[in-house]
Amino acid sequence: METKKITVLAGDGIGPEITDAAINVLERAAEKAGVKFAFDRRKIGGCAIDEFGVPLPDETVTSCKASDGVLLGAVGGPKWDALPADIRPEKGLLGIRKALGLFANLRPAVIYPELSAASPLKKEVLDRGVNVMVVRELIGGIYFGPRGDTNGGKTAYDTEIYSEDEVRRIAKVAFDLARGRRGKVTSVDKANVLMSSRLWRRVVEEVHESYPDVELGHMYVDNAAMQLVRDPSQFDVLLCPNMFGDILSDEASQITGSIGLLPSSSLGTEKAGLFEPIHGSAPDIAGKDVANPIATILAAAMLLDNIGMESSARAVERAVAKFIADGWRTPDLGEGKRVGCREAGRIIADNLA
């Protein structure tokens, strides 16, 4: 029987609860597919600081690099807010992204018809369909350029820098994804103002020449933000620089009605990708068995996709859809048959049968 190694970084807050639910689903999926998952649990974030004094221990990085995939819960919480910036829990997340060379962040936003009432958008807008994949460049741009302050702290600067190679590799990810979806890429920039965006647009167009079967459009980021809430059905794949993708993916998440539904994957130069929910550690509800594990379970489905278990990934997505269609609801999803985190994971795992 084939064995695949999965490193589990449960992290802080609700992280252990939601990852346990996802592991339950993964184990059932592996059983049906005739494979075996070996789960290696390691520390990251606040819990790693408590045990090792650092947010990302070396043994965690070693395990992740030797894995077929990494499942992450969430990091951080008020307990560690007073720590110096260089050892905050979030440094663990930034560190593992860098260690694994994770340059592409994928965030799907999909509307479930049964939950459309929870969306802030009008029904006639949602009826056109919402299925958007935000592709965000993750380790370049203004978040990683030179920064500082001058004039005694009265002036500050952050620098947006992109190279052709950085743009080219993320553009290829977007076009490859579009080929398996509806065949359309919308590249987001601010090329009327920013030199970095002009380079971005030029390189994206060059990459597009190798994908004649995919439609390419360009949109300024301010217009994209408006269009995303006016008519999200017009978008298939949104290709974004780091900061623009950060903002637009959060906007897209709210269209679905609950942040507890949305997974993400981060892919890069190592074989192991990182798969996680887009929400935080929610320490206020940790340990109460009320967290929504669906985003983490769908992140596990993205992990399955990435390791070549596409049919298992689709089965997990169908199991989640059935859970919702059958009326089961964690507290964040409104009225319905109320269920907790642990039971939600069990029901979705049973749906795989």
Residues 120 and 160: their CA atoms lie apart, in Å, by 33
Catalytic site residue from 189, 246, 305, 332: 246
> Out of 222, 231, 284, 326, which one is annotated catalytic?
222
Catalytic member of 5, 79, 190, 271: 190
Rounded Cα–Cα distance for residues 95 and 90 (Å)? 9
Helix/strand/coil percentages in the chain, nearest 5? 50, 20, 30
How far is it, in rounded angstroms, from Cα 189 to Cα 140? 14
Q: In whole angstroms, what is the distance from residue 312 CA to residue 266 CA?
A: 20
The gap between the terminal CA atoms of the chain, to the nearest Å, is 20
Q: Cβ distance 265 to 97 under 8 Å? A: no
Set 40, 65, 79, 143: catalytic member: 143
Tell me 173's DSSP state: H
- Catalytic-residue membership of 222: yes
- Residue 143 annotated in active site: yes
- Rounded to an integer, what distance in angstroms lies between the CA atom of residue 70 and that of residue 278? 15
- Return the SS3 of 34: coil
The catalytic position among 250, 271, 322, 350 is: 250
Reduce the secondary structure of 72-119 to three states and give it as a string: EEECCCHHHCCCCHHHCHHHHHHHHHHHCCEEEEEEEEECCHHHHHHC
**Sheet architecture: strand order including 131-137:** 35-41, 2-11, 69-74, 273-277, 263-268, 102-110, 131-137, 237-240, 184-189, 215-220
In the beta sheet, which residues pair with residue 133?
108, 237
Rounded CA separation 218/190 (Å):
10
Q: Please name the amino acid found at residue 91.
A: K
Distance, in Å, from the CA atom of 203 to the CA atom of 84, rounded to the nearest integer, reads 39
Query: Where do the DSSP E strands lie in 214-271?
Result: 215-220, 237-240, 263-268
The SS3 assignment for 236 reads coil
Residues known to be catalytic: 143, 190, 222, 246, 250
